[in-house]
Amino acid sequence: MVARSSPKGRGAPGNAQSSRFNLPQRDADGDWLDAIGAIDDGPPPLRTTVTIEHPRSIISRNTSPDLPFDQSINAYRGCEHGCIYCYARPTHAWLDLSPGLDFESRLFAKPDAALLLRETLRKPGYVPKVIALGTNTDPYQPIEAEYRITRSILEVCLEARNPVSITTKSDRVLADLDILAQMARHDLVAIALSVTTLDGRTARTLEPRAAAPRKRLAAIKALSDAGIPAHFNVSPVIPAITDHEIETLVAAGAQAGALSASYIPVRLPHEVAPLFRAWLDAHYPDRAGKVMAIIQQMRDGRDNDPDFGTRMRGKGPWADLIRTRFRLAVKRAGLNQHRWRLETAGFRPPANGLQGELF
């Protein structure tokens, strides 16, 4: 049996079936489906579509002991970066869409996000806390260039002096350097750039539409030079694919100007596991079995460990080895010497955004 490759510029080999919601197996919509039977030059690239969504609230809250924040905003559903390992892929099943190609090509945008945030921050009972951006899908994925929703959220947070943390795989974050620099002067922002590998060929299959690793490192330097706290996230660490780069990655992040670093072993919840297995078969057939065997050793014999406390670090000898290597690399690089503190003391409810307030 020949392993199925992903469409050009995409991460998933196809559309995964959701056994949780009885989602039927199907091919991707659009130009790809129209051209399945084409014989001249193969099918064209799968097009990206964006649906406008109008939620009634914008801040999501959690009580997870594994996360350093309890409120977050996701400006978009789905992510065009197409990272095959993305733990957010299963969320598309809630929309009756596939966590496979649908997740990276059928996107949803929330243009009302800033208005909803402004209303929330104005409520008498609101307690100022850090708002995390990029916890589910990337706030600086390609469509942000058109919709600018993340930027509008930052504008409200700057006005209200409400702190923000950002996680991204894109150098597009530099488009908001003007706002971010202002926020940094008030200790209102910290940014984590996630880099999985320094190898361009690996990155192109692993995370096909994310910024190239060198661009992410350049973004860390630009943020650091602008006085904006930058964190380096080696995530995910994939055994027998990227784990040999741990020391090199940490050193590169430190050289670029990051103040701290962290890592997360690859996680494969729900539909991510079969998608990842198909990706391994297509791109690394020589070691697919080895990769999954190591992952299962770190996850109690399963493809994924959902338990609090261990899901972000793994268990067993392999997890211990990765932890030790990372700790030593961080020590050699002089990272994690101190933690910055994001301030809420200056919080002030924002204006309601209505013209009437001008008079």
Q: Which domain holds residue 75?
A: 47-263
Distance (Å, whole) CA 324 – CA 265: 13
Q: pLDDT digits over 285-296, tens only?
A: 999 999 999 999
DSSP string, 72-108: EE-SEES-TT--TT-TTGGGGGGGTS-TTHHHHHEEE
CATH number at residue 152: 3.20.20
Look at residue 229 and tell me if it is in a domain. yes
pLDDT at 39 over 70: no
Contact between 59 and 74 (Cβ < 8 Å): no
Look at residue 239 and tell me if it is in a domain. yes
126: exposed, middle or buried (C-beta count within 10 Å: 0-12, 13-18, 19+)? Answer: middle
Handedness of CA 115, 120, 122, 123 (dihedral sign): positive
Using DSSP, how many helices (H) and how many strands (E) does the chain show?
12, 10
Q: pLDDT digits over 295-338, tens only?
A: 999 999 999 988 887 888 899 999 999 999 999 999 999 999 98
Look at residue 291 and tell me if it is in a domain. no
Amino acid 151: pLDDT: 98
Look at residue 357 and tell me if it is in a domain. no
How many domains does the chain divide into? Answer: 1
Look at residue 15 and tell me if it is in a domain. no
Q: Which residues contact 232 (CB under 8 A, 6 or more apart)?
A: 192, 193, 195, 220, 249, 250, 253, 254, 256, 258, 260, 261, 262, 335
pLDDT at 42 over 70: no
The fraction of the chain above a pLDDT of 90, given in percent, is 76
Q: Which residues contact 171 (CB under 8 A, 6 or more apart)?
A: 211, 215, 216, 218, 219
Look at residue 209 and tell me if it is in a domain. yes
The fraction of the chain above a pLDDT of 70, given in percent, is 87
Distance (Å, whole) CA 251 – CA 245: 10
Look at residue 255 and tell me if it is in a domain. yes
Amino acid 41: pLDDT: 55
Range scoring the smallest mean pLDDT among 23-37, 39-53, 128-142, 212-226: 23-37
Look at residue 184 and tell me if it is in a domain. yes
Q: Which residues contact 174 (CB under 8 A, 6 or more apart)?
A: 219, 222, 223
pLDDT at 359 over 60: no
